[in-house]
Amino acid sequence: MSSQTNLSRRRFGGLLAATVGAAGTPAWAAAAQGKDKRMQQQHSMIKPARLREGDLVAIIAPGGFTDDDAIAKAVRNIESLGLRASLGANIRAVHGNYAGTVQQRLDDLHAAFADPEVKAIWAIRGGSGCISLLALLDYALIRRNSKVLVGYSDITALHLAIGRETGLVTFHGPVASSTFSEYAVTQLRNVLMTPQDSYTIPMALDNHRRAQTQPNFAIRTVHGGQATGRLTGGNLCMVSALAGTPYAADFREHILFLEEINEVPYRIDRMLCQLDLSVGFNKAAALMLGIFEHCEAAEGDTALTLDATLDQHLLPLRVPAVSGYSFGHIRHQFTIPMGILATLDADRQTLTLLEAAVS
């Protein structure tokens, strides 16, 4: 056999390996199957029942510990919406900087989902610790007892894991002890209590005013255009921490939203690099960044500015990308239903929900 024949066969083998997967599936077919699988997961989405006046809301602390003042404020917030509040059995527990042990926090979360009288579960705060619950959550229980789950920051871990494992739509919005604003309450009501088949979320005027003196509140369109996809994301620290785990955000063909607080630019750069390397931002339908609060470098530091750091990741993209939308660790924030189909219009600087998030 000639060396030329061997070379031809090696080339043919290389071409074959490049187009056929380990199971004998052509690469193009494997990609199509992956997309079909994601579509099937989307079709199994579960929408919780809408909240109505008089409904019972369980206030729990799945992450950081809380105190009596925050608990009293949370109860007042819930009642101001015309809802009733109940407290998790372990809400006052303290274990280091956590709201009790992993088991205590799991018990309260599971009890809230299992209780037929409870119509919504509202995290009293974020903090840290939710990631410790993910491998121990009873996802079958959650799927059987679908109900509204609200919170942000560290609660991102619960949103991503529950959405991925059950298909339940959950809500990235104010924690129960937040200082509610008229804007935040209006957005909560519009998404959770008076849903519409199509709803364009207005940005907060107060945030627009703050942009005059605080550049991080300014809405910026880095790449224009429109994109439609399902919503996923949350707090940047948590989204990046879950990369490479079974609970990671699969933001391919999704509108990826991110926000952060108290992180200097080089750490934000590192977390964004991690996400881009793990999935690829250009595989998203669009990137929607919220308010990155207290994320500038210290005065006199030689670090890049926040905008320059973000632009290192946004400018090379081929998909719509914006920053400064009204969500994050801020008072005037809108509620984002995770997993719902939406359209981001980067030219008009709007986000439109294309379906009701509750049934």
Catalytic residues: 153, 259, 329
> What whole-number distance in Å separates Cα of residue 100 and Cα of residue 131?
14
Contact 60, 91 (CB under 8 A): yes
Token pair 């509750």 is found at 358
User: Closest by alpha carbon to 227, among 267, 255, 207?
Assistant: 255
Helix (H) or strand (E) holding 56: strand 56-60
**3-state SS class at 228:** strand
Backbone angles phi, psi at 267, to 5 degrees: -75, -35
Report the half-sphere exposure of 137 (CA within 13 A, side-chain side): 24
> What whole-number distance in Å separates Cα of residue 295 and Cα of residue 306?
7
36-60: b (≥16 Cβ within 10 Å) or e = eeeeeeeeebebbebbeeebbbbbb
- Which of left, alpha, beta for 69 (phi over 0: left; psi -120 to 50: alpha)? alpha
DSSP state of 319: S
> What whole-number distance in Å separates Cα of residue 282 and Cα of residue 276?
8
